[in-house]
Amino acid sequence: MSKSKNSQPLSAHPTSVVTGGAGFLGSHLVDLLLSRGHEVVAIDNLVTGSVDNIAHQGGNPRFKFISQDVTEFVFLDRPVDYVWHFASPASPIDYLELPIQTLKVGSLGTHKALGLAKNKGARFLLASTSEIYGDPLIHPQPESYWGNCNTIGPRGCYDEAKRFAEALTMAYHREHGIATRIVRIFNTYGPRMRVNDGRVVPSFVSQALRNQPITVFGDGSQTRSFCFYSDLIEGIYRLMMSDITEPVNIGNPEEKTMLEFAREIVRETGSRSRVVFRPLPQDDPKQRRPDITRAQQVLKWRPQVSLAEGLRLTIPYFKGRIAATKRSKRS
């Protein structure tokens, strides 16, 4: 496994730039970095992110928020040690509604973020995705698998944006000697996901809390694996601080069918919801589970939070968001 040409030691008070820093995962990364002594600059255009996710850091002298589209030139008049590129729509609802913006942030946005890292001599991490494997023909998916993607299908805008971003990241590593890292993120859940996000966990939980029918696509036999956000962020932090330039899968290898997961949500919420079935969307992956051998070996990482524990930490957040929405409608 290759090492970066300009890996640098962690300074006493490093500066991190987090694109997409007001998003679900970006904001949790901001919190972790601040807790570990970093000064953090979060950049987000708030298309899918929210200031609510970072409002608790207001007044923190080591935190700064910049409202900006990362596809535009990023100028910072200060040293930067780490660039964490998390900016992108990430749910099917978002990238199907914003296909061009999704492609632009994966291409132009990655180019600008890499340019910042090159200019500052900073280490760079790309938040890639398991979606680069498409509807996989190999199970579970190792990093060596090249994927099975439909470039012109409705999901292609997201899949290909991330595949291009990986290629550009490796080109900067080879051509300019930038210390780059690539994490392939598998399904992740937890507080700060939007209720109307469109991904499985917020959809199922919000439907269950409202005692509405839980919508399962296809016959429910397709599988996913779910990683609690704190496990994921810890793995990503370890990757950035490592010397690993090849992509690394970070996710929970515990696999469930969608029907099993829907029934677990009903149990955990005490819901009266029943399961209803709808046609499977085009190119929806039938199986998704990470091979985390590389993360275990080189990062000494594996998930610690069980699905049941993670759901017990997540469901109250959605209860609060749904209650707040009801109050705002009445006022």
Between 275-279, 297-301, 302-306, the lowest mean confidence (pLDDT) is in 275-279
Q: What integer best gives the mean pLDDT of the chain?
A: 93
- 123 has pLDDT over 80: yes
Grade residue 261 by pLDDT with cuts at 50, 70 and 90. very high
pLDDT on residue 63: 98
177-201 mean pLDDT: 94
Percent of the chain with pLDDT over 70: 96
In a domain? residue 329: no
In a domain? residue 314: no
> CB neighbours of 293 closer than 8 A, spacing ≥ 6?
142
10 Å CB burial of residue 121 (0-12, 13-18, 19+) is: middle
What pLDDT digit, counting tens, does each position of 98-114 carry? 999 999 999 999 999 99
- 4 has pLDDT over 60: no
Grade residue 11 by pLDDT with cuts at 50, 70 and 90. low
What pLDDT digit, counting tens, does each position of 196-215 carry? 888 899 999 999 999 999 99
Residue 85 contacts residue 107 (beta carbons within 8 Å): no
Full domain range(s) for residue 89? 15-192+228-253+289-304
CATH for 111: 3.40.50.720
- 2 has pLDDT over 50: no
Grade residue 324 by pLDDT with cuts at 50, 70 and 90. confident
In a domain? residue 202: no
Q: Is 158 annotated in the active site?
A: yes
In a domain? residue 330: no
- 1 has pLDDT over 90: no
In a domain? residue 278: no
pLDDT on residue 3: 41
pLDDT on residue 22: 98
Catalytic residue among 82, 133, 158, 189: 158
In a domain? residue 22: yes
What pLDDT digit, counting tens, does each position of 227-236 carry? 999 999 999 9
Model confidence, pTM: 0.93
pLDDT on residue 197: 86
Provide the domain count of the chain.
Answer: 1
What pLDDT digit, counting tens, does each position of 26-37 carry? 999 999 999 999
In a domain? residue 85: yes
Residue 233 contacts residue 291 (beta carbons within 8 Å): no
10 Å CB burial of residue 249 (0-12, 13-18, 19+) is: buried
In a domain? residue 79: yes
HEC string of the chain equals: CCCCCCCCCCCCCCEEEEECCCCHHHHHHHHHHHHCCCEEEEEECCCCCCHHHCHHHCCCCCEEEEECCCCCCCCCCCCCCEEEECCCCCCHHHHHHCHHHHHHHHHHHHHHHHHHHHHHCCEEEEEEEHHHHECCCCCCECCCCCCECCCCCCCHHHHHHHHHHHHHHHHHHHHHCCCEEEEEECCEECCCCCCCCCCHHHHHHHHHHCCCCEEEECCCCCEEECEEHHHHHHHHHHHHCCCCCCCEEECCCCEEEHHHHHHHHHHHHCCCCCEEEECCCCCCCCCCCECCHHHHHHCCCCCCCCHHHHHHHHHHHHHHHHHHHHHHHHC
Chain centre distance of CA 306? 19
Amino acid at position 181, single letter = R
- 289 has pLDDT over 50: yes
- 297 has pLDDT over 60: yes
- 167 has pLDDT over 50: yes
CA atoms of 28 and 50, how far apart (whole Å): 12
